[in-house]
């Protein structure tokens, strides 16, 4: 599990406005952290997310050359147990997209 990989995973159970269901997520934590904790930090990828898109919290995968389509929701980072949620690796995104996601996360968390 490494930063920049997209995995398919079930995010249920959830509460409130959290993204739910089986969906792709992007790993944003470093491989060393993921290996040590087995709990990668991820952000969900959605085909909706109108509020997050309007507010500037998303990074689009349009034109990124990935099979996965949608918007990366930088406003909903969380740690998950990939094994317990039967995660499956799908693909890796380009470094330019990863850097944009990390910049959005930095703007939100700093």
Check residue 16 and give its pLDDT. Answer: 66
Count of domains for the chain: 1
Looking up residue 35, the CATH number of its domain turns out to be 2.30.30.110
Q: How buried is 16 (Cβ within 10 angstroms: 0-12 exposed, 13-18 middle, 19+ buried)? A: exposed
Check residue 83 and give its pLDDT. Answer: 92
**Quick check: 13 pLDDT over 90?**
no
> Distance between CA atoms of 91 and 110, rounded to whole angstroms?
29
Question: What is the rounded average pLDDT of the residues 1-11?
Answer: 96
Q: Are 14 and 20 in contact (CB under 8 A)?
A: yes
pTM for the whole structure: 0.91
> Which range marks the domain in which residue 11 is found?
5-109
């Amino acid at each position: 599990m490494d930063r920049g990989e997209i995995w398919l995973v079930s995010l249920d159970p959830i509460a409130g406005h959290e993204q739910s269901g089986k969906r792709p997520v992007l790993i944003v934590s470093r491989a060393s952290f993921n290996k040590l904790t087995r709990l990668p930090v991820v952000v969900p990828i959605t085909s909706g997310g109108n509020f997050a898109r309007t507010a500037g919290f998303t990074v689009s995968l349009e034109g990124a050359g990935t099979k996965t389509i949608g918007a990366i929701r930088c406003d909903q980072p969380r740690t998950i147990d990939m094994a317990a949620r039967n995660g499956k690796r799908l693909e890796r995104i380009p470094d330019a997209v990863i850097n944009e996601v990390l910049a959005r996360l930095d703007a939100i968390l700093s």
